[in-house]
């Protein structure tokens, strides 16, 4: 039976509780919509007591942000075993777990922080700290991907561009997916994102010998049913179909009008 007596917490324990409560509320609604009164009620304490541990909503949001960032960065940790494609697929799966668990908060965070931070963009202010934390998460994702690719030291310029582009693509895809009410099945989107990475590498490899060698090494241990193997199979089928279509009687044959032919003749 509940006695109604509240257990007294130490300073750090209470701070950690408030951060956890704030994260839970920010995960279901935008931080702009969550009041200190709601956080106090959810923690079972008074509003003045919240201010005893945090000077204001800005400082509480920043503390919650740092914990969320640490958690998100941990989602990119993956054992360096097995094909790279399968590893990236597991990482993306955990990334989307986070996106689903913290949808509104994730959206506000990745779009520069909630509106109540307006005016807090002075050097060292909360808005500045928000951007620093976000950049830290992006860098952690970049570093983990590079490690899975076996890159040590300074990476090739084109590979650096590919990995940073892919991290940004994963972030923007997640935001669009949330905005679009998750109409694309999540598993399908995760696999597509990993295929997007393979495609970015392939396009870069088509124009650079160093990237071509890197891609060959990356695909060497990839199984046919893995994300990259599946992409290669689909592209081969697609190209074969397009080639077969262009070889049909009348296609590109003399006397057959093609798009742009009339304009060319006129010139």
Residue 178 lies in a domain: yes
* Closest by Cα among 19, 34, 183, 32 to 109: 32
Residue 49 lies in a domain: no
Query: How far is 239 from 95, CA to CA, in rounded Å?
Result: 32
253 pLDDT exceeds 70?
Answer: no
Residue 116 lies in a domain: yes
Instruction: Write the CB contacts of 219 (distance below 8 Å, at least 6 apart in sequence).
Output: 228, 232
Tokens of 103: 């949808």
* Least confident stretch, 63-72, 111-120, 248-257: 248-257
119 pLDDT exceeds 70?
Answer: no
pTM: 0.78
Total tally of structural domains belonging to the chain: 1
- 163-200 pLDDT per residue, tens: 999 999 999 999 999 988 889 999 999 999 999 999 99
Mean pLDDT value of segment 58-68: 87
Q: Are 39 and 50 in contact (CB under 8 A)?
A: yes
Top pLDDT among 182 and 4 is at: 182
* Closest by Cα among 156, 233, 243, 236 to 201: 156
Residue 255 lies in a domain: no
Residue 108 lies in a domain: yes
Q: Which helix or strand (DSSP H or E) is residue 199 part of?
A: helix 186-205
Domain that includes residue 115, residue range: 65-239
131 pLDDT exceeds 60?
Answer: yes
Residue 43 lies in a domain: no
Mean pLDDT value of segment 34-42: 93
Residue 172 lies in a domain: yes
User: Which domain CATH number covers 223?
Assistant: 1.10.357.10
Residue 206 lies in a domain: yes
């Amino acid at each position: 039976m509940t006695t109604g007596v509240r257990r007294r917490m130490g300073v750090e324990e209470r701070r950690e509780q408030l951060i956890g409560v704030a994260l839970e509320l920010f995960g279901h609604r935008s931080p702009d919509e969550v009041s200190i009164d709601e956080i106090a009620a959810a923690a079972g304490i008074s509003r003045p007591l919240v201010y005893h541990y945090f000077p204001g909503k800005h400082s509480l949001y920043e503390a919650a942000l740092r914990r969320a960032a640490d958690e998100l960065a941990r989602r990119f940790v993956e054992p360096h075993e097995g094909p790279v494609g399968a590893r990236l697929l597991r990482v993306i799966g955990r990334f989307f777990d986070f996106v689903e668990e913290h949808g509104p908060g994730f959206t506000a965070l990745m779009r520069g922080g909630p509106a109540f931070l307006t005016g807090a963009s002075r050097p060292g202010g909360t808005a500045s700290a928000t951007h620093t934390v976000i950049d830290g998460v992006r860098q952690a994702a970049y570093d983990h991907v590079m490690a899975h690719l076996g890159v040590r030291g300074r990476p090739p310029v084109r590979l650096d561009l590919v990995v940073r582009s892919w991290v940004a693509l994963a972030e923007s895809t997640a935001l669009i997916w949330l905005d679009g009410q998750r109409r694309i099945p999540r598993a399908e989107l995760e696999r597509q994102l990993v295929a997007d990475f393979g495609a970015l590498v392939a396009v870069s490899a088509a124009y650079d010998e160093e990237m071509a060698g890197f891609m060959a090494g990356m695909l060497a241990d990839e199984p046919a049913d893995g994300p990259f193997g599946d992409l290669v199979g689909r592209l081969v089928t697609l190209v074969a179909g397009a080639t077969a279509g262009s070889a049909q009687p009348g296609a590109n044959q003399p006397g057959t009008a093609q798009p742009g032919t009339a304009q060319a003749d006129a010139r």
